Amino acid sequence: MELFLQSVVNSFIQGGFFSLWAVGLVLVFGVMGVVNFAHGELVMVGAYSIWVLHAQYGLPYIPALCMAVLLVTTIGVLMERFLFRPKREDPLGGLINSLGVLFILQVAAHVVGGTGPAKQVAPPFSGTFVIEEFLRVPYQRLFAVAVSVAALGLLWFFLTRTRLGWSLRAMAQDREAAALQGININRTSMIAIGVSGALAGLAGALMAPMTSIHPHMGHNVIITAFIVTIVGGIGSLSGAVLAAVLYAFLHTFVTAYISGTVATMSGLLIMVLVLIVKPTGIMGKRVSE
């Protein structure tokens, strides 16, 4: 019983992170048509920011988190302006540019942190929430899941209730039609990657106190985000969130009750199955005929 309850809570915490990773990737792909391979590295930069600002320079956690988000958002916006915008008609070029950024950010992390063991950040919210014999959750994790949900809620509000959000969704549906309707592609793309970067930075900053920080931590992020994106449906943000939570449940429970290796394999197999049966994903938009 304890393992079961513990796994349910673990799944939701994981689901929160998976959502933050995937939604950013989906948004950029939907709006800009670019596969941003450096997305995982953006998360990594978020985590390193916390290590530098909070753990090394002693800045309190919350301001450090805000600065991490700001920094990664800025990197994202710069990527859009100087690397993706000139390559709008050349998705393969955009892809290579994102790989270039990936290499550069990994080396930057290496320069900042050095070789040697992965970096660790002591959790600012210490202590554990305990119901004896039932459940134990560190406050740090409760904080992370609360912030993730709040951020996703805010994004949902932005996308469905504001004009800018509406233009973002219109672009994701059909870029050419959106342009014809007078939506400013440059501005919308910049907002898309800004939001994507903010979510990545937030995810990294929230993860920093609970994980090992190293220059290659983005690898796992991008692969998980791909799986979630495909299962959820490439054009669909709500699909991404749903798929993230489902995938987190699958991964957590298979890991807890069978093994982590089986969990990874089953994730890939489910992704292949979804691609075969319904290439547009569980919540993907229908391809118009």
Partner 1 sequence: MTKTPTSVFRQRFSRRRFLGTTLAGMGAALTTGLPKVGLADAKTVRLGMNIPMTGDYAPWGLPGLYGCEIVAANINAAGGVKIGNDTYMIEMASYDHGYDTEKSVQGFKKLVLEDDVKMVMMLGGSTVASIIPWAMRKKMLTTTLLPSDITPDTEYLVATCESHPLYNVTGVEWLADKFPEAKTAAIITTNDIEYGKQSAATYNAAFEVAGIDVVDVNFHGFDVADFAPIVSSLLSKKPDVFCMATDVYTTPIIEQLFHQGFKGKIVSCTCDGYLDVIAKTSKEFVEGLTFQFPDFDDPALTPDKADFPDPAGFDAAFNKDHAGEWSAVAWEYPSILLNWIEAAQAAGSIEPEPVLSAMKANSSPAHTFGPGKWWGADLWGLDNAVVGNWPVVAINDGKARIQEYRSVYDWLQNNAGVLKKHMQALDLRTV
Partner 2 sequence: MGANKLTHVAGTAALLIALVILPGHLKYHHQDFIIFLTINVLVVVSYRLMTLTGEWSLIHIVMMGVGAYTSALLSKNLGVSVWLSIPLAGVSAGAVAALLSFPLFRMTQFYFLIGSFAVGEAIRLAWVYFVYPFGGSSGINTIPSPELFTIDFMEPIPYFYLVLAVVTLCLLILHRIENSRIGLTLHAVHWKSPLAESVGVNAWKYRTLAFIIASIFVGVAGALKVHYLGNVTPHQFGVGTMVFVLIWVIVGGYNTFYGPILGAIVLSILDEAFRAFEAIRPAIYGVLLIAAIMFMPRGLESVPGWFRERLFRKTAE
**Continuous segment of H or E residues that includes residue 204:** helix 185-207
7 belongs to the binding site for partner 1 (CB under 8 A): yes
219 belongs to the binding site for partner 1 (CB under 8 A): yes
288 belongs to the binding site for partner 1 (CB under 8 A): no
Sign for the pseudo-dihedral over CA of 35, 242, 239, 75: negative
Q: How many residues interact with partner 1 (rule CB under 8 A)?
A: 56
Q: How far is the CB of 254 from partner 2 (least distance, A)?
A: 14
Q: How far is the CB of 227 from partner 1 (least distance, A)?
A: 11
Residue span 139-178 as binding mask against partner 1, x where in contact by CB under 8 A, dash where not: --x-------------------------------------
Residue ranges that bind partner 2, judged by CB under 8 A:
29, 35, 37, 83, 86-87, 90, 92-93, 95-97, 99-104, 106-108, 110-111, 115, 223, 226-227, 229-230, 234, 261, 264-265, 268-269, 271-272, 275-276, 279
C-alpha separations of 122 from 53, 126, 145 in Å: 13, 8, 18
Residue 157 buriedness (CB in 10 A; 0-12 / 13-18 / 19+): exposed
Binder of residue 175, out of partner 2, partner 1, none (CB less than 5 to 8 A by kind): none
For partner 1, give the closer residue by CB, 91 or 138: 138
Count of beta carbons in the 10 Å neighbourhood of residue 245: 19
* CA neighbor of 42 nearest in space, from 287, 189, 219: 219
Q: How far is the CB of 266 from partner 2 (least distance, A)?
A: 10
For partner 2, give the closer residue by CB, 155 or 225: 225
Sign for the pseudo-dihedral over CA of 252, 240, 35, 198: negative
Binder of residue 275, out of partner 1, partner 2, none (CB less than 5 to 8 A by kind): partner 2
Residue span 236-265 as binding mask against partner 1, x where in contact by CB under 8 A, dash where not: ---------------xxx-xxx-xxx--x-
* CA neighbor of 45 nearest in space, from 15, 69, 22, 14: 69
* CA neighbor of 124 nearest in space, from 203, 10, 209: 209
Residue 287 buriedness (CB in 10 A; 0-12 / 13-18 / 19+): exposed
Binder of residue 54, out of partner 1, partner 2, none (CB less than 5 to 8 A by kind): none
182 belongs to the binding site for partner 1 (CB under 8 A): no
Count of beta carbons in the 10 Å neighbourhood of residue 239: 24
User: Distance between CA 222 and CA 203 in Å, rounded?
Assistant: 13
Q: How far is the CB of 76 from partner 1 (least distance, A)?
A: 22
C-alpha separations of 266 from 41, 136, 218 in Å: 25, 28, 21
Residues that bind partner 1 (CB under 8 A): 2-3, 6-7, 10, 13-14, 17, 52, 55-58, 110-123, 128, 130, 136-138, 141, 207, 209-212, 214-216, 219-221, 223-224, 251-253, 255-257, 259-261, 264
